[in-house]
């Protein structure tokens, strides 16, 4: 079963960054764990996202982890 954090990250990647499901499936297959921090690096490693998108993902992850940023 996927963790809630990973599910939220996948939703962000699909909706906000417009990544195709095929890219996400590839990255998930190459991920050894469900740690959400590894998925963005795998996507970047395989050229499925740009450095700018990688930065956006890390910003989003920081916001998700910080309770002060929540409305």
Asked whether residue 55 is domain-assigned, the answer is yes
For residue 29, give its domain range. 4-66
Asked whether residue 54 is domain-assigned, the answer is yes
Nearest alpha carbon to residue 12 among 24, 1, 2, 22: 24
pLDDT, position 20: 96
pLDDT, position 2: 62
pLDDT, position 66: 79
pLDDT, position 1: 39
Asked whether residue 47 is domain-assigned, the answer is yes
pLDDT in tens, the chain (71 residues): 368 888 999 999 999 999 999 999 988 888 766 566 688 999 999 999 999 999 999 999 999 887 665 55
Asked whether residue 71 is domain-assigned, the answer is no
Query: Exposed, middle or buried by CB within 10 Å (0-12, 13-18, 19+), for 20?
Result: exposed
Asked whether residue 50 is domain-assigned, the answer is yes
Asked whether residue 61 is domain-assigned, the answer is yes
Number of domains in the chain: 1
Q: How much is the pTM?
A: 0.69
């Amino acid at each position: 079963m996927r963790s809630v954090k990973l599910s939220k990250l996948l939703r962000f990647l699909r909706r906000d960054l417009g990544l195709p499901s095929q890219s996400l499936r590839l990255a998930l297959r190459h991920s050894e764990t469900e740690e959400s921090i590894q998925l963005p690096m795998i996507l970047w490693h395989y050229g499925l996202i740009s450095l700018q998108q990688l930065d956006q993902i890390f910003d989003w992850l920081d916001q998700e982890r910080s309770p002060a940023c929540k409305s």
